[in-house]
Amino acid sequence: MSEREIAIAGVGMTRFTRQADRGHRDLVEEAVTAALTHSGLAPSDIQATFCASVAGGAAIGQRTLKNLGLAGRPIVNVENACASGSTALIEAQAWLLAGFCDVALAVGVEILSASRGPLAVRTPGETSWIFETGLNLPGWYALKASRHMNEHGLTLEQLASVVVKNRRLATLNPYAHFRSEVTAEEVLGSPMIASPLTLYQCCPKVDGAAAVIVCTADFAARHGLTPVWVRARALTSGTQVFTDAPEPADGAHRAAALAYERAGLGPEDLDVAECHDAFSIGEILYTEALGLCADGDGGRYIAEGSTSPGGKGPVVNPSGGLLSRGHPLGASGLGQVAEVVWHLRGEAGSRQVPEARIGAVHTMGGSEFELDSNACSVHILERA
């Protein structure tokens, strides 16, 4: 397989914020229209669409796309927890590689701001002994943070530094929900949600949509497009955690290793990365999984500024990440892709990472707590 078979032709997204009154269709129409404008393509060019949502309900793609001139062509709906959007993008690429089409659209949408408390991880009426004992997503990540503190000496100040960095970067991002800085003292002084994670260390539940158009290299050449190339993509699912067997590498480590191998690149080649930071400990764990630092060293690595602009490593979450931009589940992975594409095309404005050539996008999905994750996807992208 050629390392340059798939091109990202265009991206678009709404702001991620509280806007539930707009409805799913309006959000999708804004994101898809922006992606079409960015690519220079018309709705008639799109040959298949993959629509991602976790809580959007049945036929979300058909309901939200019917007024955009996309009806009549294949529309596939995708749910894969928080990795739904990035999974939809992988499915779109699979259709291109299989020869089913030359141009495909991946779009994700979610409306979450109206919900209160931790998100349910089960369909109504379905039971889970883990969830019934009180474990929810903040608690799940809090346990990961406590383990990291016990095994590697992670400090509360290092956890807070993730939020401080991402809120600072988000001040430059018009798509972010939070656009004001916070101090470490404010982070640690915010209400406790699941010890040691405070309110500011948990991503906001917001509403939004994001879209990515992909095409074959031949189509890009014929239409004179200036693409961002997909050097590699990888998708893994989690493995059992309640077992006496030796603990295997988790889904994030396996997805990153696969993506680097397929791209013929390593973490040292990255200039920019969007990393799944639904909680502060997430960015620490997944910075390690991406190989930017040694396992156990993520807290110190971030706190010392290595992932900030001007640091010794790639800039991680220049968008402000999920902690600042917000996390509308089905749209989040595609919003991450949009951010990296803008940097690789030199279109990120005042938050632009200089001379960005190689970027990574890492998205986790979790709700099945008997596995280390539901899914993890990693994309490696390259400037044309």
Which whole number is the average pLDDT over 316-343?
A: 98
Strands (E), 57-195: 75-78, 103-111, 192-194
pLDDT confidence tier of residue 264, bands split at 50, 70 and 90:
very high
Interatomic CA distance for residues 234 and 102, integer angstroms:
21
Question: Model-level pTM?
Answer: 0.94
Q: Where are the domains of the chain?
A: 6-115+206-228, 131-200+232-383
* Higher per-residue confidence, 375 vs 322: 322
The pLDDT of residue 251: 83
pLDDT digits (tens, 9 = 90+) for 179-193: 999 999 999 999 999
Long-range contacts of 184-189 (CB under 8 A, 24+ apart): 184/157, 184/160, 187/159, 187/160, 187/163, 188/156, 188/157, 188/160
Nearest CA among 338, 280, 339 for reference residue 315: 339
128 against 111, higher pLDDT: 111
Amino acid sitting at position 134? G
Beta carbons within 8 Å of 340's beta carbon, 6+ residues apart = 272, 273, 274, 359, 360, 361, 381
CA dist 190 to 105, 148, 199, 319, Å? 40, 21, 6, 23
Is the pLDDT reported for residue 128 higher than 90? no
pLDDT at 12 over 80: yes
pLDDT of residue 250: 85
> At how many degrees (to 10) do helices 280-289 and 156-170 cross?
90
pLDDT score recorded for residue 245: 64
The CATH class for the domain spanning 6-115+206-228 reads alpha beta
Distance, in Å, from the CA atom of 373 to the CA atom of 256, rounded to the nearest integer, reads 14
Per-residue model confidence (pLDDT) at position 1 = 39
Does the pLDDT value for residue 341 go beyond 70? yes
Confidence label for 2 from pLDDT (cuts 50, 70 and 90): very low
Q: Of the ranges 83-87, 132-136, 329-333, 374-378, which one carries the lowest mean pLDDT score? A: 132-136
Q: What does the pLDDT read at residue 368? A: 67
The DSSP code for 240 is B
Looking at the DSSP assignment, which residues form a beta bridge with residue 379? 233, 361
pLDDT in the model for residue 118:
64
Mean pLDDT of 41-70: 96
pLDDT digits (tens, 9 = 90+) for 141-160: 999 999 999 999 999 999 99
> How large is the average pLDDT for residues 82-106?
97
Q: 274 with 317: CB under 8 angstroms?
A: yes
pLDDT score, position 248: 63
Is 131-200+232-383 a domain of CATH 2.60.40.420?
no
Are 6-115+206-228 and 131-200+232-383 the same fold in CATH?
A: yes
Instruction: Kindly tell me if the per-residue pLDDT of 105 is higher than 90.
Output: yes
Residues 161/184, Cβ–Cβ less than 8 Å: yes
Query: Is the pLDDT assigned to residue 123 strictly greater than 60?
Result: no
The pLDDT-based confidence of 226 (bands split at 50, 70, 90) is confident
Query: Residue 9: pLDDT above 60?
Result: yes
Largest distance between two CA atoms of the chain: 57
Per-residue confidence (pLDDT) for residue 235, from 0 to 100: 95
Kindly provide the residue ranges of all beta strands, DSSP E only, lying in 218-260, ordered along the sequence. 228-236
Residues with catalytic roles: 82, 327
Element (H or E) spanning 217, and its range? helix 217-222
Q: Is the dihedral of CA 334, 339, 344, 345 positive or negative?
A: positive
For the chain, list the strands marked E by DSSP. 6-13, 48-52, 75-78, 103-111, 192-194, 197-198, 207-216, 228-236, 272-274, 315-316, 358-365, 375-383
Average pLDDT for residues 349-373, to the nearest whole number? 86
Tokens 């490696």 locate to: 380
* Cα dihedral: 345, 350, 351, 354 (round 10): 60
